[in-house]
Amino acid sequence: MLKRTLMGLLRSHEQTGDKAKDPLLKSHYYKLSKDKSWEEVLSTLKKIQGFRVIHEVPSVGEIVLEKRTVTGRTMDITVSVIGVNPLTSAVDIYSASRGSLGDLGSNYRVIIELYRVLDKKLSAYKTTAQR
């Protein structure tokens, strides 16, 4: 965690993907169609305290959230639901803090928190399938 905090002195964003070096930042896969994943992810995100859904674009599978930090900064988070094939979807998250200073690793922690909540809700569908 110290490394994340040190990196956070300079960086004010974090994102997930298949090629992420950190295993906790790799894309998460679910055995659900894109439409079903979209419904589940959106309804789950709407219930997480401290996060506010500001924009939803079902056609491209993007959900934009906002979170206020204890220090008063605002974080913008984009959750992407991607149909890998008719039976599998991937979820990726991009989180960025507004302002010029680093985030002290808060974007990393937000992504981990969101994945933890989604994995718990969708545990029956979690898979390691790659695109």
Residues 6 or more apart whose Cβ sits within 8 Å of residue 54: 64, 65, 66
Mapping DSSP onto H, E and C, the string for 90-120 reads EEEEEEEECCCCCCCCHHHHHHHHHHHHHHH
CB atoms within 10 A of CB 17: 13
pLDDT at 7: 52
Helix (H), strand (E) at residue 79: strand 74-85
Cα(110)–Cα(115) distance, integer angstroms? 9
Chain-centroid distance of CA 64 in Å reads 10
Q: What percent of the chain has pLDDT over 90?
A: 71
* Domain boundaries along the sequence of the chain: 2-127
pLDDT at 129: 64
Summarised one tens digit per residue, pLDDT across range 5-50 is: 455 456 688 899 999 989 999 999 999 999 999 999 999 999 999 9
CB-CB contact of 38 with 81 (8 Å): yes
Between 4 and 11, the higher pLDDT residue: 11
CATH of domain 2-127: 3.30.310.220
pTM as predicted:
0.89
Residues 6 or more apart whose Cβ sits within 8 Å of residue 107: 8, 11, 12, 13, 14, 75, 95, 96, 97
- Per-residue DSSP letter, 23: G
| Mean per-residue pLDDT, 93-107 | 84
